[in-house]
Amino acid sequence: MLQVSQKAPEFTADAVINGDFATVNLNDYQGKWVVLFFYPLDFTFVCPTEITAFSDNYAKFQALNTEIIGVSVDSKFSHLAWINTPRNQGGLGEINYPLVSDLNKQISADYNVLIEGAGVALRGLFLIDPEGTVVHQTVNALNVGRSVNETLRVVKAFQMSAETGDVCPANWDEGADLMHGDVQGSQEWFQKHG
Residue 81: the pLDDT is 97
Find all residues with CB under 8 Å of 184, minimum gap 6, and list them: none
pLDDT at 1 exceeding the cut of 90: no
- Which helix (DSSP H) or strand (DSSP E) does residue 115 occupy? strand 114-115
Find all residues with CB under 8 Å of 15, minimum gap 6, and list them: 21, 22, 23, 24, 69, 76, 79, 98, 99, 100, 101
Q: pTM score > 0.75 for this model?
A: yes
Residue 42: the pLDDT is 96
- Domains of the chain, by residue range, sit at 1-145, 147-194
Q: Is 47 a catalytic residue?
A: yes
In this predicted model, what pLDDT tens digit does every residue of 79-111 receive, in sequence order? 999 999 999 998 999 999 999 999 999 999 999
12 against 188, higher pLDDT: 12
What number does CATH give the domain 1-145?
3.40.30.10
Residue 185: the pLDDT is 82
Q: Which of 24, 35, 36, 47 is catalytic?
A: 47
17: how many CB neighbours lie within 10 A of its CB?
17
Average pLDDT for 138-152? 96
